[in-house]
Amino acid sequence: MKKFGIKALVMQFVLVGALGAVWAQQDSQEAAPDNTKVNQRDRNKAEPTADQQKNTQTDRQLVQQIRKALVKDKELSTYGHNIKIIAQNGMVTLKGPVKSDEEKQAIEAKAAEIAGSDKVTSEIQVASK
């Protein structure tokens, strides 16, 4: 095992402390995520949510196919990969934030290609910068 002198240990602690301060400063500059308004919207009984999805094989397969298509697309952001997909009797609802209009359109196109354009409702929002 390698021995470190007191001076080397002090330098390591100073370096770790400085990195911590830089990370904290970066975190404070980014806006904290706040989905309060969206979460309140989803509490409305008229809004489709994942827990309302039927457990039919066709709806599960539909969601699975759309999810696979989204995850396979490496151009999408993490937001795009994590869009909520809700299928009810063959009808699909897409919800959640994405980074851009292009990303929103790409997700909608993939869902429409799989489910049919007349069977997809998009409630996707482009996140403000």
| pLDDT (tens digit per residue) in 72-95 | 999 999 999 999 999 999 999 999
What global pTM score does this model have? 0.65
pLDDT beyond 60 at 103: yes
Q: What is the DSSP letter of 117?
A: G
Query: Do residues 53 and 59 touch, judged by C-beta distance below 8 A?
Result: yes
Query: Do residues 85 and 67 touch, judged by C-beta distance below 8 A?
Result: yes
As a whole number, the mean pLDDT across the chain is 79
Which of residues 4 and 65 earns the better pLDDT score? 65
Mean pLDDT of the 41-49 span: 63
CATH topology of domain 36-126: Histidine-containing Protein; Chain: A; (3.30.1340)
**What pLDDT shows up at residue 128?**
75
The token duo for 126 is 């482009």
